[in-house]
């Protein structure tokens, strides 16, 4: 099977990076940008909301230790897939919910899990997560890597990221590395 990669956007990449770094079988998480037409986008340009890119993470994982479907379950469970172009106070298309697939198998699994999430919603909301082929992943600037680990006492980390990390630790305990 070998090592694989998955690319997801679920709001601020500082949050999604922190969540996926905790998971068993995940060997690397890189923040970056995908989904737009601009070549080599910068954080400043993506933040303007006019590049078409989303803030994303590229997850390198061992499918013998964690499945793509499990990654998707954590993805959907760690953000709100029913709000278009927004996660909490982060607003704009760069914060949209999106799954970038690399092959037909990933596309089918993403569609299946998205449909299951939609069918579980009883409040009339709709899953707005985009499922798109991955064209190009652009790594984010170095200062975004390991942001939560390096800035745990920053207000954004304490107020936004830490509660999300704790939620995932509890909700997906069987998928989280002990001590993470």
Cα angle value 157/8/136 (rounded, 5°): 120
* 3-class SS of residue 134: coil
Catalytic residue among 6, 7, 12, 15: 12
Q: Name the packing angle between helices 104-120 and 68-77 (round to 10°).
A: 40
Active site residue 157: no
* 3-class SS of residue 87: strand
Give the up-direction half-sphere exposure of residue 43: CA atoms within 13 A in the CB hemisphere. Answer: 12
- How far is residue 7 from each of residues 37, 87, 163, measured CA to CA in Å? 17, 17, 23
Q: Which residues are the active-site residues?
A: 12
């Amino acid at each position: 099977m070998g090592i694989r990669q998955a690319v997801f956007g679920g709001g601020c990449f500082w949050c999604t990076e922190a969540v996926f770094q905790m998971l068993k079988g995940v060997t690397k998480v890189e923040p970056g940008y995908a989904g737009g037409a601009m070549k080599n986008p910068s954080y400043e340009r993506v933040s303007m909301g006019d590049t078409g890119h989303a803030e994303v993470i590229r997850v390198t994982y061992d499918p013998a230790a964690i499945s793509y479907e499990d990654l998707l379950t954590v993805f959907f469970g760690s953000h709100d897939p029913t709000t278009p172009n927004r996660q909490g106070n982060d607003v704009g298309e760069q914060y949209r919910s999106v799954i970038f697939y690399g092959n037909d198998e990933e596309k089918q699994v993403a569609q299946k899990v998205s449909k299951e999430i939609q069918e579980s919603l009883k409040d009339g909301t709709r899953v707005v997560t985009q499922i798109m082929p991955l064209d190009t992943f652009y790594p984010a600037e170095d200062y975004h890597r390991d942001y939560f680990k390096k800035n745990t006492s920053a207000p954004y980390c304490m107020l936004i990221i830490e509660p999300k990390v704790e939620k995932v630790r509890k909700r997906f305990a069987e998928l989280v590395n002990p001590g993470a």
